[in-house]
Amino acid sequence: MSVLVILATGAEEMETVIPTDVMRRAQLNVTVAGLSGADPVVCSRNVKLVPDKSLDDAVKEGPYDAVVLPGGGDGAKNLAASEKVKKILQEQEAGGRIIAAICAGPTALLSHGIAKGKKVTSHPGVKDKMEGSGQYTYSEDRVVRDGQLITSRGPGTAFEFALALVEALKGKETVDKIVPPMLVKL
């Protein structure tokens, strides 16, 4: 199974790396794709992450079983402003495949008209924007799954978010196998 993680300048580091790492531990084929190319990306806390490839190259290998949007205020703004991301999300939704977003990442769903009518969560800092749009049913749960949509709240929920993705793609048995060696307390 394949997963596309879209990495934009200003992305939140933990919300990018933790899901990527956890999904790779679950033997998922994860591609971290740079929105602006394959060069290192400066994230929200000035950590530089190197994508596996550019988004342009990654989309040639799609469709993916899941598309993941990390948060980070500026990262989410860059995802929300991208026509490439819009097209990927529209195709993902039309194909009935998983879309996942964490922290401010769900604002990109809003900007691109994705998952209207679904139950979502987000970082408290963008709650009013998500709730006020009238497009979603808002929840303050740490992770929310509504059909093929998975959303979560922020850096502190990144493991739970990642494990929800693993469960959706590979089942609870895989989650039960990878949690103990990571010493994750759920």
Give catalytic residues, as residue numbers: 103, 123
Give the dihedral of Cα atoms 46, 41, 73, 159; nearest 10 deg.
Answer: -90
Chain Cα centroid distance, residue 173: 22
Q: Are 44 and 14 in contact (CB under 8 A)?
A: no
Helix (H) or strand (E) holding 160: helix 158-170
The burial of 117, by beta-carbon neighbours within 10 Å (0-12 exposed, 13-18 middle, 19 or more buried), is given as: exposed
How far apart are the C-alpha atoms of 126 and 105, rounded to whole Å? 9
